[in-house]
Amino acid sequence: QVQLVESGGGLVQAGGSLRLSCVASGRTFSSYTMGWFRQPPGKEREYVARISWSGGSTNYADSVKGRFTVSRDNAKNTVYLQMNSLKPEDTAVYYCAREKTPGSYDIWGQGTQVTVSS
- pLDDT, tens digit (0-9, with 9 covering 90-100), for 10-31: 999 999 999 999 999 876 666 8
- Strand, coil or helix: 114: strand
CA distances for 39 relative to 30, 48, 79, angstroms? 26, 10, 19
Which percentage of the chain shows pLDDT scores above 70? Answer: 97
- Provide the pLDDT for residue 2: 84
Angle at 70 between CA 63 and CA 10, to 5 degrees: 75
> Is the torsion defined by CA of 67, 103, 22, 51 positive or negative?
negative
> Is the torsion defined by CA of 34, 88, 17, 113 positive or negative?
negative
